Amino acid sequence: MMATSNSSLKFIINMFAVLFIFSLSGCQATSQKMRAASAQSAHTAKYIKQNENLKKCQSQLQALKVVNPSEYNRMQSSFDSLMSSAAQYTGLRKSVDENTQDTVDSLYHYRANQLCARIAQTLMDSLTSKGEARP
């Protein structure tokens, strides 16, 4: 897979985060405006947290590059593929029904969390194996 530049990767991460904003927005009845404002605030906080998690994941991936380059290449390829797919879905999202949006949004959220957990575990395993190595 082609390497992604840092600015392109940041753009893709932001697009992925926008996906979650779209998944959290919806039409509210006039009588529910106060609850909607409160819910939107909670959704914004959730978006910020998800964006921070993706940035942390990317940072851990960069650390893995130093510690275990072969695992980095494998994980970077998976990360790039996921971000590319998420960006493509974001472009198509408005053309599918709400039920499909909810399902696919959840799928991408799950896949991102799963990949980031694998990256974190691989980094920890690589660091501990280096720490346990004896000359």
Q: Looking at the predicted structure, is the pLDDT value of residue 20 above 60?
A: no
* Phi, psi dihedrals of residue 103, rounded to the nearest 5°: -65, -50
Single pTM value for the model: 0.69
Q: What are the tens digits of pLDDT across the range 69-120?
A: 999 999 999 999 999 999 999 999 999 999 999 999 999 999 999 999 999 9
Q: Which pLDDT does position 86 carry in this prediction?
A: 93
Other beta carbons within 10 Å of 19: 24
Taking the C-alpha atoms of residue 123 and residue 115, their distance in angstroms, rounded to an integer, is 12
Q: Is 28 left (phi over 0), alpha (psi -120 to 50) or beta?
A: beta
